[in-house]
Amino acid sequence: MCSFPKLHCRTVNAGHRTQDTGPLIVIAGPTGAGKSDLALELAGAVGGEIVNYDSVQIYRGFDVGSAKPSADARARVPHHLYDIVDADEEFNAADFARAARAVCDDIAARGRRAILAGGTFFYLRAFLGGLPEMPGRDAGVRARIRALAARPRGQARLHRWLSKIDPQSGRRIAPADRHRVERALEVWLVSGRPISSFERGGEEIPHIKIALTLPRPRLHEAIDRRVDAMYAAGLIDETRRLLERYPRDARPFGTIGYREAVAVIEGTITRDAAIAETKRRTRAYAKRQLTWLRSERNVHWLEAGTPNTFAAAMELI
């Protein structure tokens, strides 16, 4: 088995022939651009297996709102790191990096090609580049922070506090991203240093990063269709069932789509208002994803949904 981080390595398959599996393939891009479809097509062409890096699709039961691959897609190509965590379990970027390392090592050891697809670029960066050494979780400090968050407008106050002590993280972390705001404050309180001051360690894993893009009007249309399809497929009913299994403050209930579905169930907004808000938040998230990708190096941009998209991706690979 190839050891992390040298996933661009030579492996021995069942026929005892040494084979170069090549660098990891990363499919990136904004929500709604067609990453999953391209990953599936590429996997079929190169003998690949798909590895998820979406932070909602890791949760069991959160299917409709996270747009998990269909049963048909999973039957066609092996999929990994979907449905691996319960909503009330702690799971962070470091946990993901360890899990992804094991999965990609195993794929390479079998002479197959790992194709990473998803939209949580913080998870992707944690895996490809490693995470800096920083303090671990402190249950007491985290409890105090969450007590502050539970007060009226507590989350907004926590984000203002973070922006004051660590302006870089305040700009990078969205106010609604409760868990990352809490983690950044926890690190500062425990270590006395802003989380942005910790240097990332380790050599980046070799990979080919292909980013899909669409003209803004087409992207927004795709996002709107996707959101409409989620609600038509039973997002609210799925959320109602999940609320019977997990606490209301479980992490995935705060994510796009599920937060709005919870509000419908609790009677604070209408279904139509929830759909409109989900579309607005998804568009804003897609904008942040594009901003993140444009700051990355060695990204190969391809326009999605054209007759040449697959062929151009194959040339890059």
Q: Does some domain include residue 4?
A: no
Question: What tens digit of pLDDT does each residue of 257-316 get?
Answer: 999 999 999 999 999 999 999 999 999 999 999 998 998 889 999 999 899 999 999 999
Q: What is the pLDDT of residues 56-78, one digit of tens each?
A: 999 999 999 999 999 999 999 99
Q: What is the CATH number of the domain that holds 21?
A: 3.40.50.300
Q: Tell whether 233 and 273 lie within a shared domain.
A: yes
Q: Which residue in the block uniquely carries the two structure tokens 């989380």? A: 195
Domain endpoint, select from 168, 197, 226: 197
Query: What tokens does 204 get?
Result: 């980046």
172 lies in the same domain as 34: no
Output the average pLDDT for the chain: 89
In a domain, 3, yes or no: no
Q: How many domains does the chain have?
A: 3
User: Is 186 found in the same domain as 110?
Assistant: no
Is 81 inside a domain boundary?
A: yes
Range of the domain at 189: 139-197
Residue 47 sits in the same domain as residue 35 = yes
Instruction: Verify that 208 and 95 share a domain, yes or no.
Output: yes
CATH number at residue 223: 1.10.287.890
Instruction: State whether 108 and 176 are in the same domain.
Output: no
pLDDT of residue 204: 82
Residue 155 maps to which CATH number? Answer: 1.10.20.140
Residues 172 and 126 in one domain: no
Using CA atoms, how far apart are residues 80 and 256, in angstroms rounded to an integer? 23
Indicate whether 85 and 18 sit together in one domain. Answer: yes
Query: 272 in a domain, yes or no?
Result: yes
In this structure, the answer to whether residues 143 and 121 fall within a common structural domain is no
Cα separation, 286 vs 281, in Å, equals 9
185 located within any domain: yes
Whether 1 is covered by a domain: the verdict is no
Whether residues 123 and 14 fall in one domain: yes
176 and 160, same structural domain? yes
User: What's the confidence (pLDDT) of residue 14?
Assistant: 34
pTM of the model: 0.77
Residue 8 reports pLDDT greater than 50: no
Using only the alpha carbons of the chain, give its radius of gyration. Answer: 20
Tell me, yes or no, whether 177 lies in a domain.
yes
Residues 249 and 171 in one domain: no
51: in domain = yes
